[in-house]
Structure 1
């Protein structure tokens, strides 16, 4: 999905807050005051001022690559889901209970060893060049990473129609830079990856694994050289490339794409190709590669995909690379946590129905409805007041805003898992069949009306997202908890937290990519040429601002990669502030514990981005994540005149910008 945001927080049920508590979960007004470090000057480091003591006193759990408000609430979500699944696991008629029980039965998994995956590995080993494409298609249906990832989504230029989207793939490291950068850290990571490839081939019983692993690495390095950058890959215009199957086969000779596009005997004759040159180069590399290298890569990808459903010897080895080497995480999560994740991933809507009935009261949805309405109203006023936008474009922006759909809490329709075979004694088979079920569901969208009721996150997800094709903003139940949203908290804090998250998602529809979609969700220009030039110039100022951030020597934030999220933060916080001020009805906000309303608003924003992160994970995110590191997300406040008025930073403060240097877009 395009333009998604991740967000995260606390540890108390909204139901409990709403019905049992008379004061906020955090502090006296909804903010964790003891977590501040008032020795830090807000004008030098606002993140440290708001969160410094928390950051110093909060360790990262051994099973986490990072820890903050999102992970804190994720732990709570898992515990609640576990309680539900513990009740269901002994009930033969519960598909969630059977899935959960199959993962918890470690003894059965260990006893079976690698036997469950051996038939598939045998099929891979006997595949020749002529059968390689069909084998790749079958692997994709089983949830194994393939050289050409593909899925069904709306056609960006015909949003009432579904179409297959195909993109670049074929690598096992997170990004092309992991293959191509020649830094000491990347050399070390590549050496660890080579050892990982060797280990996976050894698990499969392959001879001369070290030499064969080197061949796989060389093959993937060649593909990585052709990969588009993440900046280009998030460009909605550059990645919209419609092709017929015949055209794709001519451009990307060397691989038979028909099996990838075939479902239930019918082959799609048109698709979207995100990165045509990279796809063509990958097809050429496949054509040139020995079949043994292609088989070895698929063996490794297969073991990686199903490692968690095989004995711990395989799973631990896989985690040693993807968990520890790439993210710095020392330990795997407890088996019950992984069992929860597996169950939610396999049959999400089944357990979600119980979750929302227990943990998402109607009054929370009603309160959120009002908040969203207020923030949308504020965005409308912002559009009306823009000095840089002409009336013609403002009218189109207003039309787009009026077309929004808001989804709060959970879907109003649930998926039906009839036909999915889940057994309490067959973990590997459950994983294989549920992946196939998901692929069939995905492909089944082709030729049908767009399912506007569908969600792309579960209610238990600590997150939110914007979907330009649907013109929608979506807020799962689990994020609507303290400190994001607390019915007992001061409104200034709520608006600075969940209000800004709402604003962020609204703003995604008007960021550098979301702004390319019109009121119908179509990728179509609705701007005058002059207004678009002004908008891009403002965006470039924000790119420059974020390019200057250097978390570690020689490692900088990519302002172009993070531009959409940074616009979302800038505009989202601005409209949330306006909505909060409007909610006061012209009256001043009270001073609480020595903090003005304006100060509490910005502290509410700073608190939700608390996060401690391991160095390896931080490095990976810097290269691959469209979000800036959390301290720099907090630092967006340096563009707000109201922040300067609230905290009165010294003129020489590290965050201080002259008024003309402050970026204001929406």
Structure 2
């Protein structure tokens, strides 16, 4: 599902609504990093970053630490980071580049131009003195609007206004191609309304989560106090009680990964009978839409929510709306609001201090004018030669995947034909969009930060809502070119690789092919594989939700997938907390298939010739080094806890060690044997693609 892309006040919906559960190569934009080993070093010689190797560790025991161990020992996570790794090196450089582009735009933009809008938005965020002088005043018109609600009948119209401003309400609207007919858009109603990242944060009785709820309660109390609310502590408790009741109604992350169960078309008339007491038609009209057709992602949630809202005091519902209005706005107000916002982030992630203000300002520009900034970025930092070489590399990966399908002993000829048809219909997008967003309708006012944030969010919401009733735009991107990430969208059957990830050590046009295939090749393979994981495999080559498997093939596939889920269930990254093998299944399948297909594609690229030994590393060793280097990351324990509960991706070390134990080429390359840490008997290895 492609979300309406309303900016949200927490990580909750961002984590829940990854594109159709297919997930991205990274959860979010990585933190910055500082190290002596720079990305440029990856382009030299073998492509193996020798300074990062820990030769006291055997690759047969722990490939992740053998390749990255020296770096892991020598570097701590900076105080303003939740994690620290190879992506941070790229992000560090990226942010310097973006800062220069934004400052240049600020100096040269003509009135009304995209460059001036970029400059004015950035400058408004940097004017900390003005924000401190204003305090809570920019929020008062919105809070007064909420105070003015005098009956439950007025709530749907209020919620629609808040939705257009990217403020969490109990039900979130999303416009995306219809799962059963991708030629048209549909309006999806999705569970929402929580300020913590996931339902488990409200319901888990463990000490760690009790403390997090206390931190959330203190955060809400402080936000209410800062806006002059009477009985701030009491209102905060009421909101927590209401959100806990909502959390009990929320479907789990695993349940939400099922695209069939979450596709429930309804008319508004039918929804009114199914979930009475809430004026769904008034809410849809408040969004500016004329439609009687919606898709309900979690029917039982809407039914439960309608009952809960009917018995919850209006004052509590208004307090909940106020809290999320304040929370969404807090990062763009005075320092005391930001301090409260950061205190909760610290409790959830373990980060010790905020990023410098200029970096946070870049995030504001990214959110509001992302493609306008991206246009400047690719003109300055993305060579066309890189695009052409990556396209050729993708071609080899698709060829390797087709060959792999032919060899699958568990798949019938009928399903193989459908799988190859889907492969043939893949769309590949590299670097940047063919057409850029038009921001001429977005008003940016110099010195009006919160107003600019609200206008940009309304502009983005309107852009997405107005798709309803229009032909599906297959040229659209869900990431900006300056994003260090990649994704697969099952409803478009497309793989997308922004310009920013096409840099060393992921990709270097002058580097050894083995390392490129191990790094960016595995990323490409990963994204292709999402079309055939437990979720993506339920969509056909045109992007429609359709069962194209024989019953027997699906059963055999699910049996193998279950093996992989059980393997990852056994990992315990944080004492007392295990990986959720069902939640991470799609990403783990994609990691495993991606590296196997990338290895085969690298072999194809050799054209039958042996790979040379470079700096003492064989071609196969360079391939696995490239793969392991691409996951070189340290993560704070608090952040890891949040991810284990809400993120469909496994921890970085397990995306290496937990994957290669199932890869025959890994065992052949390093000659693993019983007793080695990563040895796995051939008959026990999970083989899917």
TM-score bin, normalised by smaller chain? over 0.9
Does 2:582 align with 1:560? Answer: yes
**Closer, same or farther: CA 281–264 of 1 in aligned 2, 3 Å:** closer
| Counterpart Cα distance in 2 of 1:299 and 1:241 | 31
Contact kept, 8 Å, 1:258 with 1:267, in 2: the verdict is no
Equivalent position of 1:75 in the other structure: 92
| Counterpart Cα distance in 2 of 1:425 and 1:360 | 32
Equivalent position of 2:371 in the other structure: 349
Instruction: Give the alignment partner of residue 46 of structure 1, picking from 46, 63, 71.
Output: 63
Does 2:56 align with 1:34? Answer: no
Contact kept, 8 Å, 1:110 with 1:310, in 2: the verdict is yes
Equivalent position of 2:247 in the other structure: 224
Equivalent position of 2:82 in the other structure: 65
Equivalent position of 1:143 in the other structure: 166
| Counterpart Cα distance in 1 of 2:310 and 2:30 | 48
| Counterpart Cα distance in 2 of 1:9 and 1:279 | 34
Cα shift readout 1:189-235 (whole Å, capped 9, x = no counterpart): 11111111111111121112112211111111111111111001111
Equivalent position of 2:517 in the other structure: 495
**Larger CA deviation: 279-288 vs 404-413:** 279-288
Does 2:398 align with 1:337? Answer: no
Does 2:410 align with 1:393? Answer: no
Equivalent position of 1:213 in the other structure: 236
Does 2:107 align with 1:85? Answer: no
| Counterpart Cα distance in 2 of 1:400 and 1:172 | 39
Equivalent position of 1:359 in the other structure: 381
| Counterpart Cα distance in 2 of 1:178 and 1:596 | 47
Cα shift readout 1:58-87 (whole Å, capped 9, x = no counterpart): 221221111112222222222111101101
| Counterpart Cα distance in 2 of 1:331 and 1:155 | 42
Residues 544-583 of structure 1 mapped to structure 2, 5 A cutoff = 544-583=566-605
| Counterpart Cα distance in 2 of 1:452 and 1:247 | 31
Contact kept, 8 Å, 2:60 with 2:679, in 1: the verdict is yes
Shift of 1:112: 1.9
Question: RMSD between aligned alpha carbons?
Answer: 1.7
Cα shift readout 1:431-466 (whole Å, capped 9, x = no counterpart): 011111111111110111101110000000010000
Contact kept, 8 Å, 1:157 with 1:522, in 2: the verdict is yes
| Counterpart Cα distance in 1 of 2:46 and 2:127 | 45
Contact kept, 8 Å, 2:146 with 2:318, in 1: the verdict is yes
Residues 242-641 of structure 1 mapped to structure 2, 5 A cutoff = 242-262=265-285, 265-321=288-344, 323-635=345-657, 636-641=659-664
Secondary structure of 1:317 counterpart: helix
Secondary structure of 1:450 counterpart: coil
**Closer, same or farther: CA 11–305 of 1 in aligned 2, 3 Å:** closer
Cα shift readout 1:312-352 (whole Å, capped 9, x = no counterpart): 1101111110x200011111111111111111210112111
Shift of 1:24: 5.3
Instruction: Give the alignment partner of residue 196 of structure 1, picking from 216, 219, 229.
Output: 219
TM-score, reference length from structure 1:
0.96
Equivalent position of 1:167 in the other structure: 190
TM-score, reference length from structure 2:
0.93
Shift of 1:9: 8.5
Secondary structure of 2:653 counterpart: helix
Shift of 1:4: 2.6
User: Unaligned 5+ residue runs, structure 1?
Assistant: none
Equivalent position of 1:644 in the other structure: 667
Secondary structure of 2:194 counterpart: coil
Does 2:144 align with 1:122? Answer: yes
**Larger CA deviation: 342-351 vs 372-381:** 342-351
Does 2:679 align with 1:656? Answer: yes
**Closer, same or farther: CA 262–232 of 1 in aligned 2, 3 Å:** same
Contact kept, 8 Å, 2:161 with 2:286, in 1: the verdict is no
Cα shift readout 1:491-541 (whole Å, capped 9, x = no counterpart): 111100000000000000010000001111100011111111111111011
Equivalent position of 1:5 in the other structure: 24
Shift of 1:43: 2.5
Equivalent position of 1:100 in the other structure: 122
Shift of 1:10: 12
**Larger CA deviation: 382-391 vs 641-650:** 641-650
Shift of 1:27: 5.1
Contact kept, 8 Å, 2:289 with 2:465, in 1: the verdict is no
| Counterpart Cα distance in 2 of 1:622 and 1:577 | 29
| Counterpart Cα distance in 2 of 1:271 and 1:142 | 21
Shift of 1:106: 1.7
Secondary structure of 1:446 counterpart: coil
Secondary structure of 1:97 counterpart: helix
Instruction: Give the alignment partner of residue 154 of structure 1, picking from 171, 177, 189.
Output: 177
| Counterpart Cα distance in 2 of 1:27 and 1:335 | 35
Shift of 1:553: 2.1
| Counterpart Cα distance in 2 of 1:265 and 1:466 | 30
Cα shift readout 1:346-372 (whole Å, capped 9, x = no counterpart): 011211111101100110101111100
Cα shift readout 1:373-410 (whole Å, capped 9, x = no counterpart): 11111001011111111111111111110001100000
**Closer, same or farther: CA 257–74 of 1 in aligned 2, 3 Å:** farther
Contact kept, 8 Å, 2:32 with 2:87, in 1: the verdict is no
Shift of 1:238: 1.0
